[in-house]
Structures are given as C-alpha cells and as structure tokens.
C-alpha cells in the first residue's frame, strides 16, 4: 500500500525534527527514522551550541563568521556562513522559548563557555591584531544535544507530526529531476512500504562508522548520502572528515572539547603541555584538525604513551579543575572515563586518542536546503537536505566545535520554511504500485544469498583500512592502497550471506544494507582525497603538505559511475568578506 504525506522527513535528529517543527499545520508531515527519535545521534552531543550572545563578554556575529571561515581553512562558502552566524542568536533564543533548559550564568542569562577556534580580537580597536579565546558556546552541562533533541521531539509532537520509528529507508524515488518519495522497510517485519510525498527532506546524519575508532553511534552509516549518490546525485567534499582530538583511548567514545573549554590540558609522556609548540596563542583550544595532527605527531615522534595492547595515547588532564567543576560541568564525560577506562578524572589524567567524528561533506544544497543535482547549482525539485548529511558548506574543510548543533537548528528551520513555500504550489508526482520492487528484490537477495563472506569481516576490514590509509594523515600511496582495498571489498560484498534469515527484527539485514552504504561513502571519500593534491583543514596529504589556493579553492562533487570509481567535478568556493590568509593560531 502507498502511504501519502505532503512532506516526508528522513531522520529524527536535530535537523530533521527542527524542520518538522517548521512545517505548517495544514500539511501532513511524517518523520521516518531507523531508531526511536530520541536515540538519534544528536542526543549524544555534549559540549554546546554556539552563538555570539555576548552573555559573558563582548562578542559579535562577525567574530563568529571570521572564526568559522578561518576554521574551515577558507573552504566554507561565506554566504552560507554569514547566514548561519547572523541567525545564531535568534536560533538560541528560539530554543529557549521552546523549552530547552540551558545552564545559566550568575545573572540568569544563558551561560557560555570556551570552545576550540572561537576567538575575538584582543583589542577591539585593532580587529587584525592578536586574537584570544571567547566564551561563545551555550550549553546544558555536558548534555546539550540530549536536551535539545528532547525539546525538539516534544515540539514536533505538538506540531502533529506522524512518526514511523524503526523504519529503514532503502531508496530515494526520483524521476526526471523531481523527487516523489522514498521506499522504507519496517525493521520489525521486513515489510517494504512506498511513501509518496510532494517534498522529501533528508536529515540522516553522518558516517563515522566507516572508521574503526569513532565517536559516532552504530547507526552513523551515511545512509542518506549513499542513497542520494546511488540515485545519481553528487556528494560534496567527502574527503574532509573531522577527527576529534579527544576520544577515549581504544574506544573512541567522545570526551567533549568542553573539557578543554573548562581548562583541561593535553600532555605527552613527559608531562609537557605540547600544544604550546603547535598553537602558541590558543594552545589546547586550537581547532580540531590541528590538535589531532599534533597528537598523532607526538605519538609518531615517540612522545605518546604505549598501552598494554601496543597502541599509543596521550593524556587529557582535568585533575586541577577540582571535583566541584568536574561534577557540575562535565559529569557525563568524566563518568565515561570511570566506567570504560577505570580512570578517576578528579585525580588522574584520561588516556585519549583522536576519534573519527564529523563529516564536513555530504549532499550538496543551497542555503534553502534544496539539493543540488550538479556543480552548476541546478536543484532537484522537491528534495531537501539538512544537518550532518548535507553540505551547505558552512564547515568547509574543518568544522569548529558547537557549530554543528547550530547548523542543525538554523538550516533545519530554513529547510522547513522552504518546504512550506514550495507546498503552496507543489503537487504529487505519480507513483506506481510496483515502485518498491527494486527494494523488495534487494532485501530478498540479501536474505537468500549463500556466499561465503560475513558482513562483519568486510566491515572490520573497511574500518581498519580507512583508519590506516585515509585517516588523519594521507599519501598518494596510502590512498592507492585504499582504492584497491575498496575494489576488493566491493567484490567480496557480492558474495556475502547472512546467518539470520528471518524477517523479524533482523538486525543483520539492516547491517548489510548499512555496510553497502558505508562502502559508497568510503568511495566518494577516498577518491576525493586522492585527487585533492593539497593539505587543507582535516585533509592532510603528507606528500602535498601546503594549502594550494591557486588550484584548490573549490569543492569536490563526486558522482557515482558504476564500478570504476566516481566522476569528480568541481565548484568554486564563495568568498565574500574574508580573503584567504595563512591559518595560524
Ligand atoms: C558524541 C558526539 C558529540 C557531539 N557533540 C557536539 C556538540 O557538543 N556540539 C555540536 O555542535 N556538535 C556536536 N556533535 C556533532 C553533532 O551532534 C552531529 O553532527 C549532529 O547531531 C547530527 O545531527 P543530524 O540531525 O544531522 O543527524 P542525527 O542526529 O545523526 O540523526 C540522524 C537520523 O537519521 C535517521 N536515519 C539515518 N539513516 C536512516 C535510514 N536509512 N532510514 C531511516 N532513518 C535513517 C536516524 O534514525 C536518525 O534519526 C557531536 C557528535 C557526536 C557523535
């Protein structure tokens, strides 16, 4: 049976739910999510959401925009960045009015803390002089994403949104550049459903699970990106994947940058505060790409600490902050250190290592979240994307901490608004009753294949190889190895078989579909990285250590070409106020 709604939103994280809140009540709106909505990854965000509120000290949206552009290593589109930073203050007040419980300062205003790469001029009369860290991140202890997601979930229910929880979207329906709906499988029964809609918004989150060490939840498998890519749409700037400097050693579970924002210090095996050598002015609060490179460099040069399993780490010391600050402001993450590593953060430093964290790239959109079908800027009618799965390019080559939650609420709302406008004149496209045949066949095939390969082995090899050969540091040779590996893994994927053949809540089946999606996102990432012969933001080529503005002030657009690796095209970066400069902190 065909289910029909004016709007379908795929994804119930911050971006999807903020869009859902915005859909005018006279239209029907359904949110489809493969997990129960409050379990979306947004709920794990810890540190904060930024805006130049100036509640603690002087600040301005222009400072925020400057930092975001510089943080992006000049790859962010400055028109979109300006929209986001100008709108940030309104967006925070709106969240407050929706009921989000922020932490407060002494005056009762929303409290703000330091975060990496957020700065202001030391002397406001000399905007080009030395810059110092500024308190710009609004927060709710270290559970900011949790309370944001709960607030948006409540408001979506109030807005009479229909939820399809534990439905897995398997296909994007498009015809002649017009979107007409999606296909989804109900996980409980493996039943396939056709969803027809005038407008579809993808808010499916990131794909950190393509790497072995990651802060991302198990569901972060890039499904939305892969579905767009398989439908012939491009993926933008996938070579830029952020490694967060402080994941718990071996596990990758995130220790928020808020820990350093509150005064935590990184140390090597000699007890040295090594960031002083890499970013003398902001030190531990340098942007993430720089801190992650610094940590790996310390380890490579023998100043890491060797663990019992032969892998290395450095230390994050919070002990000098005192029990009161730790218990009040960092309760969750210090709890993780106790539970998972048996370390007591009030008296001992925490072993950490960089962890794959955030996709700067994704499905290309314009500032109204309309999906681009090519590098020329033509849009797909009726298709929108927002949040981590999208690339409106506010983060460029490296995202600043707390800018993602902001991106979700600013662009989630803009997507919802744009859909509201579109619906005034939009109509349903014809959907055939057998439109679900491809997905049915794919599922039938996966359940009935009798190959010799297990998905867990292919996934583990993919994650290990991506970590080694397409991680923080890359070279031509490592990427060539990765390209060969991907070819091999894609071949082996054709020869898998599932142990669980049942149709009832078959998680092995969803894992197989997720693995297929991970292989697709990996392809766009690796080829983009191979072609980009420069180092910029999170993409570090040891064989091309410098940023090359002459040739590479452009976004990568990767189009799937069956089998032989993607076709890569390029789109110039939008520069408005801030000319590229050397990036020093
Ligand atoms: C541990 C951690 C801490 C973080 N802390 C911060 C922070 O303090 N500040 C900050 O700004 N950013 C932070 N980030 C980044 C930020 O939280 C994420 O980028 C953001 O929450 C992503 O939100 P989203 O709405 O795009 O997607 P998500 O919240 O990831 O939600 C994705 C949704 O898509 C659905 N979905 C996916 N695929 C399918 C499918 N095939 N079918 C149906 N549904 C599907 C899922 O069910 C889910 O509902 C953090 C990230 C992590 C991992």
Give me the domain span that covers residue 451. 437-547
What residue's CA is closest to ligand 1, atom 15? 404
Residue to mutate (ligand 1; options 147, 192, 204; most atoms within 8 A of CB): 204
The pLDDT of residue 180 is: 97
**Boundary (domain end) residue, out of 355, 371, 398:** 355
Q: How confident is the model at residue 128 (pLDDT cuts 50, 70, 90)?
A: confident
Those residues with Cβ within 8 angstroms of residue 316's Cβ, 6 or more apart along the chain or in another chain = 246, 255, 259, 260, 264, 265, 266, 267, 349, 350, 352
Q: What is the pLDDT of residues 283-330, one digit of tens each?
A: 999 999 999 999 999 999 999 999 988 999 999 999 999 999 999 888
Does some domain include residue 511? yes
Q: How confident is the model at residue 556 (pLDDT cuts 50, 70, 90)?
A: very high
Rounded distance between C-alpha atoms, residue 348 and residue 351, angstroms: 9
Instruction: Check whether 584 has a pLDDT greater than 90.
Output: no
323: CA distance to ligand 1 center in Å? 31
- For ligand 1, whether the C-beta of 146 sits within 6 Å is no
Pair 270, 303: CB distance under 8 Å: yes
42: CA distance to ligand 1 center in Å? 4
Does some domain include residue 209? no
Q: Where are the beta strands (DSSP E) in 92-251?
A: 112-113, 119-121, 131-133, 137-138, 162-165, 167-175, 178-186, 191-202, 235-236, 241-248
- For ligand 1, whether the C-beta of 522 sits within 6 Å is no
Q: Which atom of ligand 1 is nearest to the CA of 386?
A: 26
Pair 130, 281: CB distance under 8 Å: yes
Rounded distance between C-alpha atoms, residue 360 and residue 540, angstroms: 14
CATH number at residue 313: 3.90.700.10
Q: What is the dihedral of CA 252, 103, 349, 402, to 10 degrees?
A: 40
397: CA distance to ligand 1 center in Å? 19
The pLDDT of residue 365 is: 98
Nearest to 172 by CA among 251, 233, 255, 236: 233
Does some domain include residue 381? no
In the chain, the percentage of residues whose pLDDT exceeds 90 is: 94
Region 118-142 average pLDDT: 92
Residue to mutate (ligand 1; options 31, 41, 153, 390; most atoms within 8 A of CB): 41
Nearest to 216 by CA among 340, 11, 334, 356: 356
Instruction: Check whether 9 has a pLDDT greater than 90.
Output: yes
Region 456-474 average pLDDT: 98
Region 201-209 average pLDDT: 98
In three-state secondary structure terms, 450 is: coil
Rounded distance between C-alpha atoms, residue 115 and residue 71, angstroms: 12
The pLDDT of residue 416 is: 98
161: CA distance to ligand 1 center in Å? 20
Q: Order across the sheet with 567-572: list the strands.
A: 235-236, 554-559, 567-572
The pLDDT of residue 1 is: 81
Those residues with Cβ within 8 angstroms of residue 117's Cβ, 6 or more apart along the chain or in another chain = 67, 70, 71, 282, 285, 286, 287, 288, 400, 401, 585
298: CA distance to ligand 1 center in Å? 31
Rounded distance between C-alpha atoms, residue 455 and residue 520, angstroms: 15
The pLDDT of residue 131 is: 92
- For ligand 1, whether the C-beta of 169 sits within 6 Å is yes
Active site amino acids: 288
Does some domain include residue 414? no
Q: Average model confidence (pLDDT) for the chain?
A: 96
Rounded distance between C-alpha atoms, residue 93 and residue 100, angstroms: 9
Q: What is the pLDDT of residues 56-102, one digit of tens each?
A: 999 999 999 999 999 999 999 999 999 999 999 999 999 999 999 99
Instruction: Check whether 46 has a pLDDT greater than 80.
Output: yes
CATH number at residue 445: 1.20.58.100
169: CA distance to ligand 1 center in Å? 16
- For ligand 1, whether the C-beta of 46 sits within 6 Å is yes
Hey, what are 435's tokens? 């439109």
**Boundary (domain end) residue, out of 303, 326, 355:** 355
16: CA distance to ligand 1 center in Å? 10
Rounded distance between C-alpha atoms, residue 49 and residue 554, angstroms: 28
The pLDDT of residue 378 is: 98
- For ligand 1, whether the C-beta of 39 sits within 6 Å is no
Q: Which of 229-233, 257-261, 425-429 has the lowest mean pLDDT?
A: 257-261
Does some domain include residue 427? no
Rounded distance between C-alpha atoms, residue 360 and residue 387, angstroms: 10
What residue's CA is closest to ligand 1, atom 10? 402
Look up the pTM and report it: 0.97
- For ligand 1, whether the C-beta of 363 sits within 6 Å is no
- For ligand 1, whether the C-beta of 351 sits within 6 Å is no
Region 22-37 average pLDDT: 97
Instruction: Check whether 530 has a pLDDT greater than 90.
Output: yes
- For ligand 1, whether the C-beta of 193 sits within 6 Å is no
**Token pair 């996709």: residue:** 359
Does some domain include residue 192? no
**Boundary (domain end) residue, out of 355, 378, 396:** 355
Does some domain include residue 305? yes
- For ligand 1, whether the C-beta of 69 sits within 6 Å is no
Instruction: Check whether 12 has a pLDDT greater than 90.
Output: yes
Region 154-170 average pLDDT: 97
Q: Is the four-CA dihedral 466, 469, 475, 476 of positive or negative sign?
A: negative
Nearest to 267 by CA among 231, 232, 228, 313: 313
Position with higher pLDDT, 130 vs 462: 462
Those residues with Cβ within 8 angstroms of residue 411's Cβ, 6 or more apart along the chain or in another chain = 15, 84, 365, 367, 369, 386, 387, 390, 392, 394
Pair 31, 131: CB distance under 8 Å: no
365: CA distance to ligand 1 center in Å? 18
Helices (H), 159-239: 223-230
The pLDDT of residue 333 is: 87
Instruction: Check whether 332 has a pLDDT greater than 90.
Output: no
Does some domain include residue 263? yes
In three-state secondary structure terms, 569 is: strand
Q: How far is CA 316 from CA 44, 246, 334, 491, 585, in A?
A: 20, 8, 11, 42, 20
351 and 443 inside one domain: no
| Total number of domains constituting the chain | 2
Q: Which atom of ligand 1 is nearest to the CA of 17?
A: 25
- For ligand 1, whether the C-beta of 216 sits within 6 Å is yes
Residue to mutate (ligand 1; options 405, 406, 517; most atoms within 8 A of CB): 405
Instruction: Check whether 562 has a pLDDT greater than 80.
Output: no
Q: Which atom of ligand 1 is nearest to the CA of 390?
A: 26
């Amino acid at each position: 049976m065909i289910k029909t709604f004016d709007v379908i939103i795929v994804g119930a994280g911050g971006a999807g739910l903020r869009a859902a809140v915005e859909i005018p009540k006279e239209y029907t709106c359904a949110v489809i999510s493969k997990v129960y909505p409050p379990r979306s990854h947004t709920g794990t965000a810890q540190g904060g959401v930024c805006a130049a509120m100036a509640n603690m000290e002087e600040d301005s949206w222009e400072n925020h925009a400057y930092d975001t552009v510089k943080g992006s290593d000049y790859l962010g589109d400055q028109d979109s960045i300006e929209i986001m930073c100008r709108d940030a203050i309104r967006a925070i007040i709106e969240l407050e009015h929706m009921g989000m419980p922020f932490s407060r300062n002494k005056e009762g205003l929303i409290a703000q803390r330091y975060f990496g790469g957020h700065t202001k001029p030391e002397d406001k009369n000399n905007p080009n002089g030395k810059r110092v860290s500024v308190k710009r991140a609004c927060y709710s202890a270290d559970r900011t994403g949790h309370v944001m997601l709960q607030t948006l979930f409540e408001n979506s229910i109030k807005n009479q949104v229909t939820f399809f929880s534990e439905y897995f979207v398997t296909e994007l329906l498009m015809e002649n550049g017009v979107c007409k709906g999606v296909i989804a499988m109900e996980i409980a029964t493996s039943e396939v459903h056709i969803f027809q809609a005038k407008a579809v918004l993808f808010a499916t989150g990131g794909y950190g699970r393509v790497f072995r060490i990651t802060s991302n939840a198990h569901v972060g498998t890039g499904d939305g990106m892969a579905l767009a890519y398989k439908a012939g749409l491009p993926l933008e700037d996938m070579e830029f994947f952020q490694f967060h400097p402080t994941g718990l050693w071996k596990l990758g579970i995130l220790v928020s940058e808020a820990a350093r924002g509150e005064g935590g210090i990184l140390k090597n095996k000699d007890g040295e505060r090594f960031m002083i050598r890499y970013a003398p002015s902001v030190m531990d609060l340098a942007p993430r790409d720089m801190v992650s490179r610094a940590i790996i460099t310390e380890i490579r040069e023998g100043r890491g600490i060797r663990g019992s399993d032969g892998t290395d780490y450095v230390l994050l010391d919070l002990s000098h902050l005192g029990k009161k600050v730790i218990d009040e402001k960092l309760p969750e993450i210090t709890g993780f250190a106790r539970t998972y590593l048996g370390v007591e953060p009030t008296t001992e430093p925490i072993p950490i290592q960089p962890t794959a964290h955030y996709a700067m790239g994704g499905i290309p959109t314009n500032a109204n979240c309309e999906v681009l079908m090519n590098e020329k800027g033509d849009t797909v009618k009726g298709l929108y994307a927002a949040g981590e799965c999208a690339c409106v390019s506010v983060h460029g080559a490296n995202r600043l901490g707390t800018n993602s939650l902001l991106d979700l609420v600013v662009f989630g709302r803009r997507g919802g608004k744009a859909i509201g406008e579109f619906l005034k004149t939009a109509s349903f496209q014809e959907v055939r009753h057998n439109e679900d045949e491809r997905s049915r066949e794919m599922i039938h095939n996966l359940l009935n294949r009798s190959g010799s390969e297990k998905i867990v082995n292919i996934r583990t090899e993919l994650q290990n190889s991506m970590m080694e050969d397409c991680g923080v540091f890359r070279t031509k040779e490592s990427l060539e190895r990765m390209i060969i590996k991907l070819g091999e893994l894609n071949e082996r994927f054709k020869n898998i078989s599932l142990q669980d053949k049942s149709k009832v809540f078959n998680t092995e089946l969803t894992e197989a579909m997720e693995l297929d999606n991970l292989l697709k996102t990996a392809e766009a990432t690796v080829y983009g990285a191979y072609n980009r012969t420069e180092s910029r933001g999170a993409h570090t080529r040891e064989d091309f250590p410098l940023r090359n503005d002459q040739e590479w002030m452009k976004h990568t657009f990767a189009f799937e070409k069956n089998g032989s690796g993607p076709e890569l095209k390029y789109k110039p970066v939008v520069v408005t106020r801030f000319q590229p400069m050397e990036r020093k902190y």
